[in-house]
């Protein structure tokens, strides 16, 4: 019995991992940039990936091996339609959603474009915070000004 209890505790801990997702929806749920992180068990390092998707043409996952801790902040810039520059610390990446490519820059880009949002971990949860201005909704017919 003394041996069974520690083994059951190890099994219980190994099943307590976590998976978190945060998405920037470009043109609906089928066209997006998604940051995903998985933790095998509580206290283990995070395995983080960027998923670039434009269904049905492509979807690809790219591991971000340097993004393992809880301190996550990746800024997203729009360089041109469908092309995004991502910044995490001193690392800069470019991704495009036409063919779902992803590459790391050797040097920071001189003009990354307009910042449109950030992936970040807030209170232990991964989220995407948009910095784009919300367009005002059109007034409905019969509404008083």
Decide if 108 contacts 91 (C-beta within 8 A). Answer: no
Is residue 140 over pLDDT 80? no
**pLDDT score at 4:** 46
H-type alpha helices, 1-143: 4-14
Using the predicted structure, report yes or no on whether residue 135 has a pLDDT greater than 70. Answer: no
pLDDT-based confidence at 66, cuts 50/70/90?
confident
Give percent above pLDDT 90 in the chain: 61
Q: What is the token pair recorded at 122?
A: 């807030």
Write down the mean pLDDT value for the chain: 84
Residue pLDDT, tens place only, 100-111? 999 999 999 999
* pLDDT band per the 50, 70, 90 thresholds, residue 76: very high
Describe the strand order of the beta sheet including 18-25 as a list of residue ranges: 18-25, 31-39, 46-54, 58-63
- The pLDDT-based confidence of 22 (bands split at 50, 70, 90) is very high
């Amino acid at each position: 019995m003394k041996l069974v209890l520690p083994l059951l505790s190890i099994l219980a801990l190994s099943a307590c991992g976590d998976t978190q997702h945060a998405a920037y929806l470009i043109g609906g749920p089928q066209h997006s940039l998604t940051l995903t992180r998985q933790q095998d068990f509580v206290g283990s390092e995070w395995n983080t990936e960027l998923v670039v998707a434009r269904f049905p043409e492509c979807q690809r996952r790219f591991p971000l091996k340097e993004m393992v801790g809880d301190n996550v902040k990746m800024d997203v810039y729009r360089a041109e339609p469908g092309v995004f520059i991502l910044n995490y610390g001193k690392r800069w990446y470019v991704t495009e959603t036409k063919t779902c490519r992803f590459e790391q820059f050797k040097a920071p880009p001189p003009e990354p474009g307009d910042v449109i949002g950030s992936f970040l971990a807030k209170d232990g949860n991964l989220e995407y915070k948009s910095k784009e201005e919300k367009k005002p909704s059109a007034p409905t017919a019969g509404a008083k000004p």
